[in-house]
Structure 1
């Protein structure tokens, strides 16, 4: 599978596991897992994806720079980005002093007024490093990073959960928790 097809497949799997599993005949458990064979069969049923194998999906999950997916035995889930309710496993880890949120200039005015909201998702996505957050920010025109003080956010009532691979999920974040704006090129 070439790089372009990998990107398209990853986006398609994200759509299925994060937003509309029922549309593709899949049932997720409470934590968002489904059987990887069932996912493969659901994808193969779609036009242009008849050649996809379970090994393609496993390889994609293992090599994705964003580490969007988690595979345990024969189960797969999207780690983050859900618009449907799923529980997050509690991974005990100290919340870092600072986290980063990738966004774009067009959203900045609203963010400064109301804070960082989950929008159409269940939680706000944050990263431990600027480089990982940059991957999200660069999907849009005029990308930027927001450096977040987790201490200020927690004092304002925000909660954080570690989703794995540098990704943290939180409730809405107040504007006061944004301590730096970093322009990206």
Structure 2
């Protein structure tokens, strides 16, 4: 499978596993899991050519590790980023001292005023690597990376989780924990 096809299928899987399973009449359980067999069948019936080998290749090679199989490989789900109500079973975890958030420069004034909001997603996404944060931010325009004092947030009682693919998650980042000095 070429990279263009893999990217197209991966974007479609993100859509149906994170936001709109109804687009292909896919059923997700409360934890966001879909049956692999049903996903493949529904994708194929909606002109997305998919089989177990292609799906495995996408899960294994996705640079952001967006998807995960259950231990028996019978189910699949997105690791995070859902706009649907799902319970990913995340446990609270102490974050590193600093984490990073990539965003478009045009969003800085709003972030200075309101902080980082989760919007329609379950959580604000933070990264342990600045290059990953920059890559995420560049999807939305000219990007910048914000440094978040997660150690202080945690000490102040704000909760953090880490998804299976290493993304750090929190409900909200107030402006006082964000370093804006270089912006």
Corresponding residue of 2:52: 54
Q: Quick one: distance in 1 between partners of 2:13 and 2:108?
A: 29
Match in the other structure for 1:23: 23
**Aligned 8 A contact 1:18 1:78 in 2:** yes
TM superposition shift of 1:182 = 7.0
Contact 1:102/1:146, CA 8 A, preserved across alignment: yes
Query: Which deviates the most, 85-94 or 162-171?
Result: 85-94
Distance in 2 of aligned mates of 1:162 and 1:140: 23
Equivalent position of 2:174 in the other structure: 174
Q: SS where residue 80 of structure 1 aligns? A: coil
SS at match of 2:117: coil
Q: Which runs of 5+ in 1 are unaligned?
A: none
2:102 corresponds to which residue? 102
RMSD (Å) for aligned C-alpha atoms: 1.9
1:26-71 C-alpha deviation (Å, 9 max, x unpaired) = 2212211111111111111113x2x321211111011111000011
Quickly say closer, same or farther: Cα 1:33–1:110, change in 2 above 3 A: same
State the distance in 1 between where 2:54 and 2:164 align.
Answer: 22
The worse-fitting range, judged by mean Cα deviation, of 10-19 and 118-127 is 118-127
Residue by residue, what CA displacement relative to the aligned partner does 1:99-127 show, whole Å, maximum 9, x if unpaired?
A: 11111101111001000001121111111
TM-score normalised according to structure 2 size = 0.90
Could you tell me which of 42, 62, 65 is aligned with 1:64? Answer: 62
On the 8 A contact 2:19/2:84 being kept in 1, the answer is yes
Q: Bigger shift: 18-27 or 62-71?
A: 18-27
Distance in 2 (CA, whole Å) between partners of 1:179 and 1:163 is: 24
Q: 2-side partners of 1:177 and 1:12: how far apart?
A: 35
Task: Tell me if structure 1 keeps the 8 A contact 2:34–2:76.
Answer: yes
Query: Which residue of structure 1 aligns with residue 10 of structure 2?
Result: 10
For 1:182 and 1:39, the matched residues in 2 are separated by 46
Q: In the alignment, is the contact (CA less than 8 A) between 1:115 and 1:172 conserved in 2?
A: yes
- Count residues in correspondence: 181
**What is the distance in 2 between the residues matched to 1:79 and 1:6?**
18
